Structure 1
Amino acid sequence: MHIETSAIIAAAFALFALGALVGLGILLVDALAPLFTRATGGTSLTERIGDVLSRWRGGHRRRDVDDDEEDDDDLQDSTAALLTMIPAAAVVVDDEDEVVRANPDAYRLGVVDDDAIVSVPIAEAVRDVRANGGRRTLELMTRTPRRFGDVADDDDADDDDGLPHIGTVSRPNWLNVTVGRISEGLVVVLLDDVSESVRFAQVRDDFIANVSQRLVQPSDELKHLAATLERGGLDERQIARDARNVRRTIGYIDHMIGDLLLLIKAQEQVVPTADNVLNVLAEVQAAVDVARPLAAEHGQRIAVRGDDTLVVHGESEQIRAAIGKLLDNALRYSPGGATISVDVRASRDGRDAVIRVIDRGCGIPGEDQQRIFERFYRGRVQNERTGDGAGLGLAIVKHVALTHHGSVQVWSRPGQGSTFTLVLPMAKRE
């Protein structure tokens, strides 16, 4: 009896250790890579910017400013040359606060719009530097304008088919800003986008908050079971309860390893071939069949409708997993007895297959929508059926969409439900 129990404990602990190592290894290799690519050879961006500005100002002062006929042309040429030299998004503002030159990223980062600086702190710094000279540095957050957004959220209107229309949500950017004067009238604004570093820190914090306990809990449960066995005078009911707790927590680890492996598989782009043509509605039906038992537990129903002629190139396991994650979320965040709808149809231009998973659940707050596709992130609105998640489901959906050359979007309103839309390019018919 004791030998068999010890073997069970050892096997369970080995599984836990494997899960922890796999999870941490994948996280470190995958998540630290973006930071390594940002290395600048030991020289800070501010130092490099300062060096460029110094060289530019020196060359500018050596110009013959008395040559009025060539002054404007030379100034424009020098400004253009400056923008090509600076390793950051740059904006040049004249003495009337009009933007005369701007890197396209300045528009995407929400700093410039319609030939003017729209960020109030930066505009104030520009006026201060123009009046008093010197250099100003700022750290601030901006938002990508909605026209550059890539995640849906902001349109209350419906499409012609009665389904929620997909809008866009503005994305936050974290910037280190340097403002300096380069002539009597011109001020340059340099934008160092450090958003990737900030997002990495957020992923790290989300991992610690949402996953670390899942890795520690099996060890605690195993210790408790071992202590029960060592005390002797065994209570079979207590042992059974402890064993169930061990099995449940090991199940969390097993589920998390499965999700991490799915993320790994979803990193390589799918190459269209004659052998990977899939019927979209058939893949949806297969995912729905897997989800029906979960729906039945709470009296929920899944209704499927759509075009059964649509085909895409893809990996069946990945597409079914992505649809399954959307169904799982819809079921867990919807009340008992609710109906989850799945709609499959071609896009208006006929180029894509559009899969919508629609629920009338609790909805997603706007501030959460910009982060729900990040790995290990979990929204603040949880219930007894969602509390044990690790925050990987929607990250898997996003990566599956990207590797299949598609996209995923969300429309949601608190109290009105959510619509997740998976868009996949259709296979070309011979």
Structure 2
Amino acid sequence: MGSCWTVWYCVVVVTIAACVAAVIAVTLNDIHHGVNPLRRLTSHPQGGFLGLGHRTDQRQGRQNVEDLEDSTQALLAMIPVASAVVDDHDDVIRASSAAYTLGVVRDESLCNEDILAAVHEVRSTGGRKQLDITTQTVPQRIVGPKGESVQDAGLQQVRVINGVSRPNWLKVTVGRINSRFVVVLLDDVSESIRFSQVRESFIQNVSEQLIEPSQALERLADSLEHDDLDRESVKRQAVEVRRACKHMEHMVSDLLLLIRSQEPVTPSSHNRINVMDQLRDVVQSHLGRAQQAGVQLELSGDDSLDINGESDQIKAAVGKLIENAIGYSPQGSTVAVSVKRSQEGGHASVSVIDRGCGIPKAEQERVFERFYRGSEQNERTEHGIGLGLAIVKHVALTHHGNVTVWSVPGQGSTFTMSLPLAQDIVTA
């Protein structure tokens, strides 16, 4: 049944792509030669189509060309995969927004050499070519005083903040429209591959982590089998069993969070949430942990900011940032949690700031990797899993945002999630 649906899906996609390609070819060829494409409708020998041919003035003609160009863009948007049209100078003259997001088009040019080579081959020989590629969306790097974006290169006090990205796995089809134009179709299969990777990590790591509690249980069973029971020894081994079981429970919980954090989030009127409400709940739930560590939690910011998102995921991500901040902060210090409108005005910036040991520069590029553990561990963090920041990363990206880190050893760290503000959803 699944293969049947796959075949039908491919037939539909190819049919739509062929129709769109034909329209694009005619449209672009007319525009290139300075011909108003609508003349195909208005140049009827018996006075034009509905008599409009002789009444269309030059200004209206230009407007019609612009409208048709907009229609071409709309047709590309209707294809259920990302797309781009390339001319004989290798310039991208039409592209869907996803082609930029996926790291294939930049500055009106193809930035992947394999796709560009396929375009050259198809343009010269005809037919079509299919290939699998992996792209990397360019990570956000912000330079500015105290973490803010600046334009003034003369500022002395600057911070370089490292953002996150993730690979995009694409199935690419390149086809020739005519001698001048080539269409590139991009089928993003990243979601299924990421799910497969997390599933494999889940199986591998749970299997490995099962060894420790099973060995602890075996040692406890050996002790209980002997007549000369040492009460203190049994108690000590029972504590080991409890600790190993708690560790595995923590890991399984985090792996499930990681899987859920990669489910795509579509903005709607049903998932509009207030950011400050989420932060209040998370801070309240971590007050006990902070008090036990001798750390104070502070919350501040703009309580008018709304985003579209999954409340549980946002709380889980912020909770992981607060847990890390508490874990790496010295007694008597403060962990500050805040939210504000971004400088450009379109995002809510959620920051968690600590005054802990900081992260060495060489490790900052890796802190968002799954199961990565930094070198600066202490008694509060040594039993961690290494999934917390990976969860934060995927929550931010699936909510169409990003997360950045600024850190200096000995000064502390600032993690900032940037999430798009909610837009008014227009329903039909």
Change over 3 Å in CA distance of 1:311–1:57 after alignment to 2: closer
SS of 1:95 mapped into structure 2: coil
2:336 corresponds in structure 1 to 342
Q: Paired residue for 1:202? A: 197
Q: Measured at CA, do residues 118 and 348 of structure 1 come closer, stay the same or move farther in structure 2, by a change above 3 Å?
A: closer
Corresponding residue for 2:7?
43
Structure 1 residue 158 corresponds to structure 2 residue 155: no
The residue that corresponds to 1:242 in the other structure is 237
Distance 2:177 2:301 in 1: 63
CA distance in 2, matches of 1:199, 1:388: 26
Mean Cα deviation higher: 406-415 or 186-195:
406-415
> C-alpha separation between the residues in 2 aligned to 1:249 and 1:125?
53
Distance in 2 (CA, whole Å) between partners of 1:81 and 1:309 is 37
Q: Give the deviation of 1:193 after TM superposition.
A: 0.8
Aligned to 1:172: 167
Asked if 1 retains the 8 angstrom alpha-carbon contact of 2:302 and 2:341, the reply is: no
CA contact (8 A) 2:276 2:303 kept: no
Equivalent position of 1:114 in the other structure? 107
Partners in 1 of 2:260 and 2:102 — Cα distance? 32
Q: CA RMSD in A?
A: 5.5
Residues in 1 aligned to 2:24 and 2:249: alpha-carbon distance in whole angstroms: 64
Structure 1 residues 172 and 263, CA gap change in structure 2 (3 angstroms): closer
Q: TM-score, structure 1 length as denominator? A: 0.63
Question: Paired residues, what number?
Answer: 368
Task: Verify the 8 A CA contact 1:322 1:400 in the aligned structure 2.
Answer: yes
Instruction: Answer yes or no: is the 8 Å Cα contact 1:279–1:311 preserved in 2.
Output: no
Residue aligning to 1:412: 406
1:184 aligns with 2:179: yes
1:218-261: CA deviation from partner (whole Å, max 9, x where unpaired): 33322332233235443444423322221111222444576689
Q: Distance in 2 between matches of 1:319 and 1:62?
A: 48
Alpha carbons 1:177, 1:189 under 8 Å: kept? yes
- Structure with more relative contact order (C-alpha pairs < 8 Å, separation 6 or more): 1
Q: 1:200 to 1:116 in 2, by over 3 A?
A: same
Report the alpha carbon displacement of residue 126 of structure 1 after superposing the two structures with TM.
0.8
Structure 1 gap ranges (5+): 1-37, 147-151, 297-301
Residue 219 of structure 1 corresponds to which residue in structure 2?
Answer: 214
Deviation of residue 192 (structure 1)? 0.9
For 1:293, the equivalent position in structure 2 comes to 292
**1:173–1:193 Cα contact (<8 Å) kept:** yes
Partner of 2:371: 378
Gaps of 5+ in 2: 41-64, 150-156, 422-428
1:368 corresponds, among 366, 369, 394, to 366
Report the alpha carbon displacement of residue 132 of structure 1 after superposing the two structures with TM.
Answer: 2.4
Q: Distance in 2 between matches of 1:263 and 1:171?
A: 14
SS in 1 for 2:359: coil
TM-score by length of 2: 0.63
**Secondary structure of the structure 1 residue equivalent to 2:352:** strand
Q: What secondary structure does 2:286 align onto?
A: helix
Q: How does 1:302-317 map to 2 (within 5 A)?
A: 302=295, 307=300
User: How far apart are residue 142 of structure 1 and its match?
Assistant: 1.6
SS at 2:133's partner residue? strand
Change (3 A) 1:391 1:167: closer
Aligned pair in 2 of structure 1 residues 155, 169: CA closer, same or farther (>3 Å)?
A: farther
Displacement of 1:184 after TM fit?
1.4
Mapped contact 2:131–2:172 kept (Cα < 8 A) = yes
Pairwise CA distance, 1:115: 2.3
Matching of residues 308-327 of structure 1 within 5 Å: 324-327=319-322
State the 1:106 CA deviation.
Answer: 0.9
Q: Distance in 2 between matches of 1:89 and 1:107?
A: 9
Contact map agreement 1:288 1:327 (CA 8 A) in 2: no
Q: Distance in 2 between matches of 1:79 and 1:271?
A: 33
Q: State the one-letter code of the partner of 1:342.
A: A
**Separation of aligned partners in 2, 1:414 and 1:175:** 37
User: What is residue 54 of structure 2 aligned with on the other side?
Assistant: none
Q: Matched residue of 2:85: which SS?
A: strand
Q: Partner of 1:89 in structure 2?
A: 82
